[in-house]
Amino acid sequence: MRVYVDADASPVKEIVLEETENSGVPVTFVSSFSHYSLEELPPHAERIYVDSGADSADFRIVQLVKKGDIVVTQDYGLASLALNKGCIVLHHKGQRYTLENIDRLLESRYRSAMARKSGQRTKGPKAMTQEDRDHFREAFRAVLTG
C-alpha cells in the first residue's frame, strides 16, 4: 500500500504526513512544476513533479497507482479512474469516493460545467474548516488501519 496525493491544491498534506509517519506506509505527492517546493520531506515521503498542463498530475497518478493504494484528491475524474484500478479514494474533506457515488458526482460536475459555459454562475467549494480537517484525519486513519 502507498498513498498518492494530488498535491497541487491539497490542504491536507501535513495530515497525511503526520498520520503515515510511524505506519511504514510510503507517501508520494504529485504536483506540477508550478508548485515546486524546497521544503524537506520525511524519509517515507517523496515528491514527483509533472508538467503544468491540465490534468498532468492526475494522469501521472493513474500511471503509478496499484490496487489497494490510497489516493487523496478533490478531482472527481481522477477519483473515478483510481476507483476503477481498485484504489481507496478520499476527498480532502474526508468523503470517501465509491463506485456507488462517483457517477452522481461526475454528473454534478458536468452540469456545473455546462451551466458555466452558458454564462451562469455556480458556487465554488466552501472554505476548508477545522471540522473538515478533523473529518479527513478520521477517515484517513480508518483506511490506513483498514
What pLDDT, on a 0 to 100 scale, did the predictor assign at position 44?
97
Contacts of 139 (CB under 8 A, 6+ apart): 90, 94, 95, 96
Classify residue 79 by its DSSP letter: H
pTM of the full structure: 0.87
Instruction: Write out the chain's pLDDT in tens, 146 residues.
Output: 999 999 988 999 999 999 999 888 999 999 999 888 889 999 999 999 999 887 899 999 999 999 999 999 998 889 999 999 999 999 999 999 998 888 787 777 667 777 777 887 777 678 899 999 999 999 999 999 98
Nearest to 143 by CA among 87, 105, 93: 87
Q: Was domain 3-145 assigned CATH 1.10.1740?
A: no
